[in-house]
A and B are shown apart, each in its own frame.
Chain A
């Protein structure tokens, strides 16, 4: 079942280890009748075994499209038009997932196999007319040579591991018979039963109540430790990011504007957008009825992407001589962070 992994947990300093998944300059555009929407426009990040990369951003920042692009599950009119997704599972040769045929056998064996995904809404992610048991068994048998009985046993075992009580009886139940939290647990069981090396979690707790969210976050972290799995955790909730992530990538309008270790990002954010986002987060420690710092304006429509730095119309540190004219690149700031802003590394 679970192969004991001998390699140590990778830390930030452990530069010798190769990333498990390396996304480089990913570009996914949507070609609509009204024009091209650059949903993801040059996103780059690395994910290491045993680590969690948190991708955070507001609606329309391209975080979900980035996740879907890794597995090439972009619906038309979307198309991945550039970049690389290098996947190197332990010991195997580096493979660029974007070179694989989107419907070909290679990527299909990786999807749900070595790279699994869980979604925000567990109700719509399950078939309403198949039992949970059958859906999990199907996932197992697609990616292994187990027979029906073995697969059934493994499925029951995973249902138990994710904390579903009386898994034998619940195997024959349907999605509507489960509560929201249990459905999310079942989805985690289905995603992890193939023992993936990378789990992509797209807003896995957004639809859940806080007490259930705490349970699911704990479960994901426990399972991650057991399998030394890498997690790409996508959320709009900065509190959740602070809790689960090792590395944080902040996205705004299709670009990674800042990336770095979670402690650095939260204690000293460098990009004006990360700063503004963090300060506009309501907390229960805040003084009562204090005015909240907020970002002026709204997120622009993706088709009206501002020129230069996309954040410049809302930015408090806007510099008229450059921000609206040139696009900033990600540059190193401080010891371990990178930010794309002309405040840094300007000659």
Chain B
């Protein structure tokens, strides 16, 4: 319906090219390396200024590792992480030394999944939210105090609570504190790793609404990581579906959910519980388990579970490329398959 604020005219803020990261598996007394877990295996995507891009996938698909590599919490093995600075220059975060990255960190902030363990229990709300300002030596004490008051109002908390400790707040309120903390130094990119997974549905809706409001107000760009397709649909402009460290498919939520091109996307959608008891129908349940990234199958990682796999899928890794309709898919049979997405009641394309 409503598109992202003129995505077409804006430039990419972050471009991830062929990112790779694997972790050694060490065994025995001598801790010899016996293999590698390919957590992120050739991932590319780009985020335009002002848009929300979501990484979605099941456990072990590499979404968190991708995010950590972008933040340089871990060093990627290969690939580029290009970030547009305020001077309109593209710098490669993957290559910069940590001291050169430091000033750029002001522009990229993170919101974490667990609001219980991500806030220091011995710091007051004022200390927590003003910490990024203090670290970056911004403002005097009074200015910081004013800023915290302003931020608390923005995220819907009462400034009077500033001197309280995190334990006095509920999960949803703590997530608001986490958001205020991320916003404190006016970042341009916010990386949110499962920000609403630990919250109850009624509170989850509040936090999603808040994130969308703040995006409109401050022109933020979001990289949103989630395993929950319904949440992703609500907030994203574009979605990257990942499976075992690779990108399966990229598209708008509309495209992905109602006209999936990759069999894995279709399988994910069909395994979602249908929220209408009258529509209970036999669905195709995906067999088998998620491939082990330490010992992935040959060819397309999805082929052992894929109902449409052909011999080519067993030997050749499908590249992520545009299909005939211009969608980015990594499937050999993307053009020939007719996959079923979610049926939208009363939809135009239904």
Chain A nearest CB, measured from B221 CB (Å): 14
Chain A contacts for B257, CB-based, 8 A: 284
* A76 lies within 8 A of chain B by Cβ: no
Contact, CB under 8 Å: A284 / B205? no
Chain A contacts for B34, CB-based, 8 A: none
Task: Given A236-B200, A284-B229, A288-B254, verify A213-B271 contact (CB < 8 Å).
Answer: yes
Contact, CB under 8 Å: A263 / B278? yes
Contact, CB under 8 Å: A282 / B280? no
* A147 lies within 8 A of chain B by Cβ: no
* B87 lies within 8 A of chain A by Cβ: no
How far, in whole Å, are A228 and B87 apart by their CA atoms in the complex?
A: 68
* A285 lies within 8 A of chain B by Cβ: yes
Contact, CB under 8 Å: B271 / A293? no
Contact, CB under 8 Å: B201 / A211? no
Output the nearest chain B residue to A205 by Cβ-Cβ distance: B273
Task: Given A209-B59, A283-B233, A292-B234, verify A263-B203 contact (CB < 8 Å).
Answer: no
Contact, CB under 8 Å: B58 / A210? yes
Segment from B63-71, B283-291, B306-314 that makes contact with A? B283-291
* A333 lies within 8 A of chain B by Cβ: no
Contact, CB under 8 Å: A266 / B202? no
Chain A contacts for B235, CB-based, 8 A: 289
Chain B contacts for A289, CB-based, 8 A: 1-2, 212, 234-235, 237
How far, in whole Å, are A209 and B173 apart by their CA atoms in the complex?
A: 27
How far, in whole Å, are A213 and B272 apart by their CA atoms in the complex?
A: 9
How far, in whole Å, are A262 and B274 apart by their CA atoms in the complex?
A: 13
Residues of chain A in range 253-277 having any CB-CB distance to chain B below 8 Å: 262-263, 266-267, 276-277
Among A180, A182, A281, point to the contact of B201 (Cβ < 8 A).
A281
Chain B contacts for A290, CB-based, 8 A: 1, 234
Contact, CB under 8 Å: B231 / A282? yes
Q: Output the residue of A181, A262, A292 with the most chain B CB within 10 A.
A: A292
Chain B contacts for A294, CB-based, 8 A: 202-203, 205-206, 209
Contact, CB under 8 Å: B1 / A284? no
Chain A contacts for B231, CB-based, 8 A: 282
Chain A contacts for B340, CB-based, 8 A: none
How far, in whole Å, are A303 and B335 apart by their CA atoms in the complex?
A: 59
Contact, CB under 8 Å: B201 / A236? yes
How far, in whole Å, are A266 and B280 apart by their CA atoms in the complex?
A: 13
Contact, CB under 8 Å: B58 / A282? no
Chain A nearest CB, measured from B285 CB (Å): 5
Chain B nearest CB, measured from A228 CB (Å): 19
Task: Given A240-B273, A286-B234, verify A212-B289 contact (CB < 8 Å).
Answer: yes
Contact, CB under 8 Å: B209 / A291? yes
Among A263, A292, A299, A301, point to the contact of B205 (Cβ < 8 A).
A292
Contact, CB under 8 Å: A209 / B58? yes
Among A280, A284, A296, point to the contact of B253 (Cβ < 8 A).
A284
Contact, CB under 8 Å: B205 / A211? no
Contact, CB under 8 Å: B342 / A284? yes
How far, in whole Å, are A208 and B243 apart by their CA atoms in the complex?
A: 16
Contact, CB under 8 Å: B289 / A214? no
Contact, CB under 8 Å: A181 / B275? no
Output the nearest chain A residue to B270 by Cβ-Cβ distance: A214
Residues of chain B in range 260-316 having any CB-CB distance to chain A below 8 Å: 267-278, 280, 283, 285-287, 289-290
Contact, CB under 8 Å: A280 / B289? no
How far, in whole Å, are A293 and B212 apart by their CA atoms in the complex?
A: 13
Chain B contacts for A236, CB-based, 8 A: 200-201
Q: Lowest 10 CB-CB distances: which A-B pairs, in order?
A: A239-B273, A294-B205, A214-B271, A58-B200, A209-B58, A282-B230, A295-B202, A280-B205, A292-B205, A262-B277
14 of the cross-chain contacts (CB-CB < 8 Å) are A211-B285, A214-B270, A217-B273, A239-B273, A263-B277, A266-B278, A281-B275, A282-B208, A282-B234, A284-B272, A285-B344, A286-B234, A288-B233, A299-B202
B interface residues, Cβ below 8 angstroms from A: 1-2, 58-59, 170-173, 200-206, 208-209, 212, 227-231, 233-235, 237, 252-254, 257, 267-278, 280, 283, 285-287, 289-290, 342, 344-345, 347
Not counting A215-B286, A239-B273, a sample of 19 additional A-B residue pairs whose C-beta atoms are within 8 angstroms of each other reads: A58-B202, A211-B267, A214-B286, A239-B230, A240-B273, A242-B280, A277-B202, A281-B201, A282-B205, A282-B208, A282-B230, A282-B233, A284-B272, A288-B234, A289-B212, A291-B209, A291-B212, A295-B205, A298-B170
